[in-house]
Homo-oligomer: A and B are copies of this chain.
Amino acid sequence: MAILVFVLKWLQWKYLIVDNAIDIYVGLIAVFFTILGIWLATQLTKPKVEQVIVEKEVYVPLSEDFAINQSALEALNLTKREFEILQLISSGHSNAEIADNLFLSLSTVKTHLSNLYVKMDVKRRTQAVDRAKKLQIVP
């Protein structure tokens, strides 16, 4: 603003003696401030963010080709721990190994498994694994 006033005063002194110089003066100001406005606008407008979703085909390797059957899993109504332990017996772990991995006692693992067998309607861990694979709730 200080600069602006100074410029105005200078222009006033220089051109005020000339008749009609006021028109040129105003024209210059108009042009100047129009450019200023344009510059302000380009600086201040936020860029619109546009999300472009690119579908990328993923050929999953056989070992990882597994999409969990969420509905089947929910139908079984398993708890977190039960499902966790189911995953571990599916990959061939013994109860003792599971207890070690999850920092649980053997008792707890057995308790979870017993409840799991009831929920899955099976009698053995091997049956549980077979059923889980058929239901596609484990790889």
Q: How many copies of this chain does one complex carry?
A: 2
A56 to B39 alpha-carbon distance, docked (Å)? 38
A92 to B128 alpha-carbon distance, docked (Å)? 8
Residues 29-56 (chain A) with a chain B CB within 8 angstroms: 29-42, 45-56
Whether the pair B45, A42 counts as a contact (CB closer than 8 A) is yes
A23 within 8 A of B: yes
CB distance from A37 to the nearest CB of B (A): 2
Whether the pair B4, A30 counts as a contact (CB closer than 8 A) is yes
Residues 55-95 (chain A) with a chain B CB within 8 angstroms: 55-60, 62-63, 65, 67, 89-94
A127 within 8 A of B: yes
How many A residues touch the partner, as a band?
35 or more
Whether the pair A55, B52 counts as a contact (CB closer than 8 A) is no
Whose C-beta in chain B lies nearest to the C-beta of A93?
B126
CB distance from A29 to the nearest CB of B (A): 5
Chain A, residues 1-23, CB within 8 Å of chain B (1/0): the string is: 00011001000100000000011
12 new A-B contacts at CB < 8 Å, known A55-B55, A56-B57, A92-B122: A5-B23, A8-B26, A12-B22, A37-B39, A38-B40, A41-B42, A48-B49, A48-B50, A51-B54, A54-B56, A59-B60, A92-B127
